[in-house]
Amino acid sequence: MTSEPGKKIRAQIVDDEDLARQIVREMLAPHPEVEIVAECANGFEAVRMAAELKPDLIFLDTQMPKLDGFEVLELIGEGVAVVFVTAYDEHALRAFEVHAVDYLMKPFRAERFEAALDRAKQRIGGTTPFRPEELTASSRSAGMYAERVVVKDGTRVQLIPVSKLDYAEAQDDYVALASQGKKHLKQQTISSLEAALDPKNFVRIHRSYLVNLERVTRLEPYGKDTHVVILNDGARLPVSRSGYARLKAFLDQQA
């Protein structure tokens, strides 16, 4: 399924380089069916404008200061066609292809731009689910893990360093991120968050809980065949049987 006949495609251009935005703008000029509704020079502005204007299509740079293209995509969520504008390596490009998201490798030719635009048009209004966090995870090289978690609270964007993350709790299609006495709700599965974090530092102790091992002080029994873990701030989290084995191995190493 493609966009409705006669309906304009609302496009947003996001790049911290003026010249890069200008090139995309000029290549869109021969396409009256595409209306540029916003141009943004940084990720924070891109997230805010996307929430306000609801674009159908975003030309998104992947390498920007403060908030990169992957983090922008996580906060924008599903329902928008994205053409990445990137200087990433082949590993990331394979990730884009696997997730049916097109890309433009800088510098790109007009023919390549046209092909990307055509592919994006096919995407608009389609039914194929798109999981931004899966794209982000698959773009990382082996052994690389997230250094921070991005969360959108209304029009504000929170950046939580993983070192400040105490634990995460699954809540349906969301995760509640506990950090420095506060909780931040993010639309993401706990499994995808687990995949993004270094397993040396974070352990899934329960199907609904992921904990920062540096916050763990002790493990206690709680009823028959059940346990709880106590964190340094006094929080008590349930521990499953498999989670108990993982935690006990860690605590034995620290003893």
Report the alpha-carbon distance of residue 230 to residue 215 in Å, rounded.
8
Tokens of 134: 């899966």
Residue ending a domain, choose from 139, 161, 196:
139
CB under 8 A, 24+ apart: contacts of 137-141: 137/192, 137/195, 137/196, 138/95, 138/98, 138/99, 139/70, 139/88, 139/91, 139/92, 139/95, 139/96, 140/196, 141/91
**Position 90 pLDDT exceeds 80:** no
Residue ending a domain, choose from 108, 139, 170:
139
Same domain, 171 and 208: yes
Residue type, 96: F
pLDDT-derived band at 111, boundaries 50, 70, 90:
very high
Q: Is 51 helix (H, G, I), strand (E, B) or coil?
A: helix
Same domain, 159 and 241: yes
- Of the candidates 79, 77, 41, the residue with the CA atom closest to the CA atom of residue 60: 41
Tokens of 217: 């002080």
- Of the candidates 83, 21, 81, the residue with the CA atom closest to the CA atom of residue 54: 81
pLDDT at residue 248 in the model: 82
The CA–CA distances, whole Å, from 28 to 10, 86, 119, 247 equal 12, 18, 14, 54
- Of the candidate ranges 88-92, 164-168, 194-198, the one whose mean pLDDT is the lowest: 88-92
Same domain, 90 and 196: no
Tokens of 203: 């352990």
Same domain, 33 and 128: yes
Output the average pLDDT for the chain: 86
CATH of the domain at 84: 3.40.50.2300
Q: Is the peptide bond before 107 cis (omega within 30 degrees of 0)?
A: yes
pLDDT at residue 1 in the model: 39
Same domain, 62 and 125: yes
Tokens of 76: 């924008």
Task: Name the residue with tokens 């360093």.
Answer: 161
Per residue in 131-156, pLDDT tens? 666 666 656 666 788 899 999 877 77
**Position 242 pLDDT exceeds 70:** yes
pLDDT-derived band at 10, boundaries 50, 70, 90:
very high
Per residue in 59-80, pLDDT tens? 999 888 889 888 888 888 777 8
In a domain, 2, yes or no: no
> Is the C-alpha dihedral spanning 132, 137, 141, 144 positive or negative?
positive
Overall number of domains in the chain: 2
CB atoms closer than 10 angstroms to residue 20: 18
Phi and psi at residue 148, to the nearest 5°: -155, 165
Same domain, 112 and 155: no
Q: Is 186 helix (H, G, I), strand (E, B) or coil?
A: strand
